[in-house]
Amino acid sequence: MAWSIAEVARMSGVTSRTLRHYDETGLLPPAGIGGNGHRYYGQPELLRLQQILLMRELGVGLREIGAVLERRRDQVAVLREHRRRLLAERQRLETLTRTVERTLASLEESRETMQINRPENLFEGFQPARVEEEARERWPEQWEQSRQVVETMTAEETERWQREVTSQLIRVAELMSAGTPVDDPAVQAEVDAHYRGVCRFWTPNAAAYRGLGQHYVEDPDLRANHDRVADGLAVYLRDAMDAYARSELD
């Protein structure tokens, strides 16, 4: 029996776009291509996808997953490594929990001014390496441009940039909580500032900017980081970025 890419996406929760990316990189080729040009998957491909998703949940990068699947490395050794990563992840999540608790306490103490007493505490426990690895694999040219810019930034400049990003996310979250439409001028002003901030590192066209917004939603780490500020923020920001791309970049 064969399943279409839409059926596999529905069963697994993986987007069709991600499945196409897995095919393009050789990580998960379909069993065949129909006369209509659609990808179809058999049981072996579903089992392979299950392995991929398990390793992704364990924090394994796409390149390493490919190596595991192709070289058929010792599964016991691989699972031991996964266990080590899980223990490290549990410790990181405990740190993140303390980070969120401190942030909540700080905001509650200064609710009127929305000033955070120790902004550096916002970032304890975050682990950007996994997100960075996927960005490098999917957009190598843009990643290289960003890396060159980041390497020139001082510690003070990096901290100032982190504060700006956090403040902007809070402002967007407040607009979302107020029920402001994504194409409202106030929201679009924030997105324009976001776009100009991205342009400090690389300059996306309309399609690339839409893709970045979608990446905020599809990448589990990025989505979680946005939704820690306010539930649903990743989707709201993506939709606002799409509206901006249509009006300003197309």
Per residue in 66-107, pLDDT (tens digit) is 877 876 656 567 667 767 767 776 776 776 676 666 666 656
- Residue 131 pLDDT exceeds 60: no
Q: Are the C-beta atoms of residues 216 and 238 closer than 8 Å to each other? A: yes
Cβ within 8 Å of residue 65, ≥6 positions away: 27, 51, 52, 55, 56
Assess contact for 3 and 46: CB atoms under 8 A. Answer: yes
pLDDT at position 116: 43
pLDDT of residue 183: 94
**Among the listed ranges 59-63, 129-133, 224-228, which one has the minimum average pLDDT value?**
129-133
Question: Between vectors from CA 244 to CA 243 and to CA 245, what angle results, nearest 5°?
Answer: 90
- pLDDT tens for 38-74 read 899 998 899 888 888 877 776 677 887 887 787 665 6
Q: Domain map of the chain by residue range?
A: 3-71, 74-115, 128-249
pLDDT band for 209, please (50, 70, 90 cuts): confident
pTM over 0.85: no
Assess contact for 230 and 173: CB atoms under 8 A.
yes
128 or 215, which is more confident? Answer: 215
Looking at residue 203, what is its pLDDT?
A: 81
Q: What is the mean pLDDT of residues 148-171?
A: 75
Q: Which two tokens stand for residue 240?
A: 């606002």
Task: Tell me the two tokens of residue 37.
Answer: 């040009």
What is the CATH class of 128-249? mainly alpha
58-143-14-30 Cα dihedral, nearest 10 degrees: -100
The more confidently predicted of residues 202 and 216 is 216
The per-residue pLDDT for 162 is 73
pLDDT above 60: residue 237: yes
Residue 205 in 3-state DSSP?
A: coil
* CATH architecture type of domain 3-71: Orthogonal Bundle (1.10)
Is residue 142 very low, low, confident or very high in pLDDT (cuts 50, 70, 90)?
Answer: low
Q: Which residue has the tokens 């300003």?
A: 248
Whole-number average pLDDT of the chain: 78
Highest mean pLDDT among 105-109, 169-173, 228-232: 169-173
**Quick one: what percent of the chain has pLDDT higher than 90?**
24
- CA dihedral sign, ordered 65, 136, 222, 10: negative
User: Which of 141 and 222 is assigned the larger pLDDT?
Assistant: 222
Tell me the torsion sign for CA atoms 162, 165, 168, 172.
negative
**Cβ proximity of 234 and 190 under 8 Å:** no
The crossing angle, in degrees rounded to 10, of helices 5-12 and 16-24 is 110
Q: Give me the mean pLDDT over the 197-215 stretch.
A: 85
Per 3-state DSSP, what percentage of the chain is helix, strand, and coil (rounded to 5)?
75, 5, 25
Separation between Cα atoms, residue 245 and residue 212, nearest integer Å? 11
> Is 35 a residue whose pLDDT tops 80?
yes
Which pLDDT value is given to residue 102?
63
